[in-house]
Amino acid sequence: DAGVIQSPRHEVTEMGQEVTLRCKPISGHDYLFWYRQTMMRGLELLIYFNNNVPIDDSGMPEDRFSAKMPNASFSTLKIQPSEPRDSAVYFCASSLKGIAGELFFGEGSRLTVL
Amino acid sequence: KQEVTQIPAALSVPEGENLVLNCSFTDSAIYNLQWFRQDPGKGLTSLLLIQSSQREQTSGRLNASLDKSSGRSTLYIAASQPGDSATYLCAALGGSYIPTFGRGTSLIVHP
């Protein structure tokens, strides 16, 4: 299995630009999680999906953030407009057995907003 | 709300030492406890998953234990090597809350 695949690995953009991060979960996993990691706050859950449906988006910081999962093999996290404080590493993870199941992470997308 | 704490935050040891990393959680009604390793600039790699019905799991030089009643898990690393240098994170899974992570223990094993 290829594991969780994220793209891009690195993104440098200017404040105000739109950023789209992509994730392909492990085939067959029906839970998908988006996390953000910073030195200040550690790993924070932004949103998670079950069977392509958003279940809990209470961690999404602002309306500038949105996430979609149009099918079982693809999810996006969009930031529009981006701000310097959004600079972080964004991780996608998937699980087969719900929010209690073993988590598998992608390599992350490192975002820098200038 | 579940809170997960990892102690120590950082650890520097000479090669060959046996190590214990600690993870504590406030709500004992978890289903599973997962340990991860994170190398700089990389994602989280799963090391061990301890299910609530188990008390420990072993993989090579790693042994993780879980005591739900006291809200604690420990990761034991035997005969540490420089290649073990990384950040180790634990996550409390299940119950009535989202997967919750500790801040990690940054480990350096020097030759």
One DSSP character per residue, B84-101 reads: G-EEEEEEEE-TTS--EE
Nearest to B21 by CA among B94, B90, B93: B90
Res. B9: pLDDT tops 70: yes
Instruction: Select the residue of A45, A48, A102 nearest B49 (Cβ to Cβ).
Output: A102
Interacting residues of B21 by C-beta distance below 8 A, sequence separation 6+: B6, B8, B11, B74, B75, B76, B77, B88, B105, B107
Q: Do the chains contact at A91 and B44, CB–CB below 8 Å? A: yes
Per-residue confidence at B63, pLDDT binned at 50, 70, 90?
Answer: very high
- Contact between A103 and B46 using a beta-carbon 8 Å cutoff: yes
Q: Rounded mean pLDDT of B89-110?
A: 92
Average pLDDT over residues A20-27: 97
Q: Quick check: B97 and B90 in contact, CB under 8 A? A: no
With a cut of 80, say whether residue B96 has pLDDT above it.
no
**Average pLDDT score over residue span B80-95:** 94
User: What integer pLDDT is reported at residue A1 of this predicted model?
Assistant: 63
Q: A68 pLDDT band (50/70/90 cuts)? A: very high
CA A112, B100, A34, B36: dihedral to nearest 10 degrees? Answer: 80
CA distance B10 to chain A (A): 14
Q: What is the residue-averaged pLDDT of chain A?
A: 95
Quote the percentage of chain A above a pLDDT of 70: 99
Residues of A in contact with B44 (CB under 8 A): 91, 93, 103, 105
Note which residues in 30-69 of chain B have CB less than 8 A from chain A: 30-32, 34, 36, 41-46, 49
HSE of B52, CA atoms in CB hemisphere, 13 A: 14
For tokens 């079982």, name the residue. A72
Interchain pair B34, A102: CB under 8 A? yes
pLDDT tops 70 at residue B78: yes
Average pLDDT of A35-54? 94
Q: Distance between CA atoms of B50 and B65, rounded to whole angstroms?
A: 8
